[in-house]
């Protein structure tokens, strides 16, 4: 009798496990919100990793819901030909409109904590020191391991908070990153990186 029960539960487990796995995968897809960044050059569609980087995604969504990025821009472009930092990176950096007041800074969700990586198309938060990120973000062009936890781009070695990825529109990202129509700046670290005519972020809209 006990052997028959054991066989029954084993068969039941085998039948249920694929269903449970499918349900878990479906829930993951539902949790990861998507959004569209409408720019003056076209649309960039993004996915936000709500499970892996909950605080960072919640912060980004709060700015979206407050329409803070409407009228913002991609104003900084960095590549091997104009990067004064080491190791060199390739990114574009965006920000809210200049009238919006920043929310309080958020805690740094490192890639050691989230298990995310700075790969081609990754969205991540710009920052100075740890726990100082507010609304400025960047998009990676190509893989950027120097921005992960333990990377040497930031002297503190904590890296940056990856929180999403581009799912379509990398052609727009690359077009922005190739722009070298920059203006003069006093800070030598960002020389030839600040666009004379930033690329407008007309809106960021969350998908329903």
Please state the pTM of the whole predicted model.
Answer: 0.86
Convert the pLDDT of each residue in 69-94 to its tens digit: 999 999 999 999 999 999 999 999 99
pLDDT over threshold 90, residue 5? no
Convert the pLDDT of each residue in 105-140 to its tens digit: 999 999 999 999 999 999 999 999 999 999 999 999
From the list 203, 196, 193, the residue with the least C-alpha distance to 85 is 193
Distances (CA, A) of 66 to 47, 96, 135, 147, 184: 19, 10, 12, 28, 32
User: How is residue 71 written in tokens?
Assistant: 């009228």
What percentage of the chain has pLDDT greater than the value 90?
85
What pLDDT was estimated at residue 16?
43
**Given 2.40.100.10, 1.10.1740.10, 1.10.10.10, 1.10.3720.10, which CATH number is that of 32-206?**
2.40.100.10
* pLDDT averaged over every residue in the chain: 90
What pLDDT was estimated at residue 31?
76
What pLDDT was estimated at residue 30?
56
Convert the pLDDT of each residue in 29-47 to its tens digit: 557 999 999 999 999 999 9
pLDDT over threshold 80, residue 18? no
């Amino acid at each position: 009798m006990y052997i028959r029960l054991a066989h029954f539960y084993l068969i039941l487990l085998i039948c249920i496990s694929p269903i449970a796995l499918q349900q878990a995968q479906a829930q993951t897809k539902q949790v990861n919100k998507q959004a569209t960044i409408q720019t003056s050059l076209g649309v960039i569609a993004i996915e936000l990793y709500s499970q892996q980087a909950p605080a960072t995604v919640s912060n980004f969504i709060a700015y979206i819901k407050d329409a803070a990025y409407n009228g913002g821009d991609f104003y900084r472009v960095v590549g091997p030909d104009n990067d004064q930092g080491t190791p060199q990176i390739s990114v574009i950096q965006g920000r809210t409109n200049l009238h919006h007041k920043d929310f309080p800074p958020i805690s740094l969700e490192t890639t050691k904590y989230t298990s995310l990586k700075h790969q081609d198309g990754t969205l991540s938060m710009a920052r100075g020191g740890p726990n100082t990120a507010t609304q400025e973000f960047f998009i990676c062009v190509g893989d950027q391991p120097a921005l992960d936890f333990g990377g040497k781009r930031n002297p503190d070695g904590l890296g940056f908070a990856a929180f999403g990825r581009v799912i379509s529109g990398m052609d727009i990202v690359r077009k922005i990153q190739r722009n070298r129509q920059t203006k003069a700046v006093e800070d030598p670290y960002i020389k030839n990186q600040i666009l004379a005519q930033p690329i407008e972020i007309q809106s960021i809209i969350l998908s329903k």
